[in-house]
Amino acid sequence: MDFQDKKAIYLQIADYVCEKILLGQWPPGERIPSVRDLGVELEVNPNTVMRTYDFLQQKDIIYNKRGIGFFAADAATDRIKSYRKEQFLETELPQFFRTIYLLDLSLEEIEKRYKAFVEIEFNANKVE
């Protein structure tokens, strides 16, 4: 895993866990790696991974079965999406706004490009 500069490590690990769940590598309802195993894999302090797991528990994305371990919640996918959406609107969107403002890009131009992007990336197969 490549750690970036900006975000606190426990949050970057949270993103990593969420991605594993979204990609289906750690399916909802199933056990996820222990704090210790993930700490070793990512070369981070186990206390930091524990902080991540506490954080994801608060968001109801994972849960703890006492004595057995941590599991991805059944509704994990939906909850991750709403957590990500919140994050995007709070931090990534303002940065995007800042850039288009500085570069004098109009919202019409952005909209046009957005539509073309969605067409190419997501609708190309549906045309047939």
Partner 1 sequence: MIELTNLTFGYTPKKTMFRNLNLSIQPGSIYGLLGKNGAGKSSLLRLMGGMLFPTAGAVQVAGFTPRKREPAFFQELYFIPEEIYLPSVSLNRYIDTMGPFYPKFNESQFRKYLSEFDVPPDQKLTAMSYGQKKKIIISFGLATNTRVLIMDEPTNGLDIPSKSQFRKIVSSSLTSDRLMLISTHQVRDLDNLIDGIVIIDENEILMNHSLTDIEERLMFSTLSAVTETDRVLYAEPSLRGYSVVMENVGQEDTKVDLERLFNAVVTNRSGIKTLFR
Q: Give the interface with partner 1 as residue ranges (CB under 8 A).
A: 3-12, 36, 39-48, 51
Q: Which residue, 30 or 41, is less far from partner 1 as judged by CB?
A: 41
Shortest Å distance, C-beta 15 to partner 1? 12
- Minimum distance, C-beta of residue 95 to partner 1, in the bound complex (Å): 12
Which of 70, 59, 66 minimizes the C-alpha distance to 26? 70
Report the sign of the C-alpha dihedral through residues 114, 23, 84, 74, in that order. positive
Query: What's the DSSP call for residue 56?
Result: H
Q: Which is nearer to partner 1, 57 or 77 (CB)?
A: 57
